[in-house]
Amino acid sequence: MSNPPEPHREVRETARRIAEMDVRGAAAIADAAAAALGVQAAESGAASPQAFRAELYAAARELHDTRPTAVSLPNALRYVLSGLNDGDGDVETLRRTVERRVARFRADLDAARDRLGGIGAGRFTDGDVVMTHCHSTDAVACIEHAVESGVDLEAVVKETRPRNQGHVTARQLRELGVPVTLIVDNAAHRFMNDVDHLLVGADSIAADGSVINKIGTAGLAVSARDRGTPIIVAAQSIKLDPQTLTGEAVTIEERDLEEVIDAETRGEIGEIEVANPAFDVTPPRHVDAIVTEHGQFPPESVVVLMRELFGNGVPEPWEKI
């Protein structure tokens, strides 16, 4: 078998930016990956449909192998690459197909977030305090819609070690005029009595309604349950993982240990193991509602939406090379 074609430099650069989390957040990763496939298609000099397909699959594989947990990434690649089957036309036709699908995917992403935000906003009433974890564009959209329709909200924002994505949330909520109290992660339980909702995003949602999200979500949900605080997950449907329909488990990304502790400090402490899982799994019994652009679902019934959207087949065209 010949070597796979070298992806376009824009694809390599996007893959690097996703891996290093210059681009982060499940939706942003999907958007960037789709855009990179668009560049690969636009600038391809492939002489045959077979060569064009091989280039696109190689590019998709490079993007796919960057971060393993957020299913929005393979879902984006799948969406863009459908329509590249044998007999689907000459290179120009395939190029136009990819470009059309990239544009559609990116526009749908924005539209879905907007619709979801409108639906999620309905959960909030004047004076509510919302606790957030990490940074999720889908979660922020719910608050944004509520604020824009005149609902006064306050937020307790967890900083979210080790990468402090809570700072992004805090900044965006301040831009919306929402009063923000930033807390360390360890203070979450202490503040749980003072909040009316726990609002988080998701990187993947499994067919049984389990929510895979930034590390710390699962414990936070236990704390919220203990205090009777409703737990809302804002996740547009590209976060639904079709492979879990056939029982596959979601892979939890382990990130660089230096995100937790730098080598020098580690050396000073002495012989220790360090672990840095980026995500955890919150069981469906600890989630009240999953808010999507198609409506709100109790976690146990999200499987119905998954079957409707994906059927049972989940192609992985990047495996073809």
Counting contacts by CB under 6 A, is residue 213 touching ligand RI2?
A: yes
Counting contacts by CB under 6 A, is residue 214 touching ligand RI2?
A: yes
Q: Which of 31, 134, 142, 241 is catalytic?
A: 134
Closer CB to ligand RI2, 43 or 110, in the complex: 110
Within 228-287, the residues that bind ligand RI2 by CB under 6 A are 278
Counting contacts by CB under 6 A, is residue 137 touching ligand RI2?
A: yes
Give which of 167, 281, 217, 95 is closest to 155, Cα–Cα. Answer: 167
Q: Which of 31, 138, 203, 288 is catalytic?
A: 203
Q: Is 190 exposed, middle or buried (0-12, 13-18, 19+ CB in 10 A)?
A: exposed
Q: Which residues contact 140 (CB under 8 A, 6 or more apart)?
A: 169, 172, 173
Q: Which of 44, 97, 136, 237 binds ligand RI2 (CB under 6 A)?
A: 136
Counting contacts by CB under 6 A, is residue 201 touching ligand RI2?
A: yes
d(CA 170, CA 180): 6
- What DSSP element (H or E) covers 112? helix 91-121
Counting contacts by CB under 6 A, is residue 165 touching ligand RI2?
A: yes
d(CA 125, CA 310): 34
**Residue 203 annotated in active site:** yes
In contact, 141 and 261? CB cutoff 8 Å:
no
Q: Which of 11, 27, 142, 220 binds ligand RI2 (CB under 6 A)?
A: 27
CB of 3 to ligand RI2, least distance (A): 31
Counting contacts by CB under 6 A, is residue 63 touching ligand RI2?
A: no
Q: Which of 11, 15, 26, 35 binds ligand RI2 (CB under 6 A)?
A: 26
**Residue 134 annotated in active site:** yes
Closer CB to ligand RI2, 114 or 152, in the complex: 114
d(CA 318, CA 146): 40
Amino acid occupying residue 196: D
- Per-residue exposure over 56-79, b if at least 16 CB sit within 10 Å of its own CB, e if not: bbbbbbbbbebbbbbbbbbbbbbb
Task: Tell me the catalytic residues.
Answer: 134, 203
**Contacting residues toward ligand RI2, per CB under 6 A:** 24-28, 134, 136-138, 165, 200-203, 213-214, 278
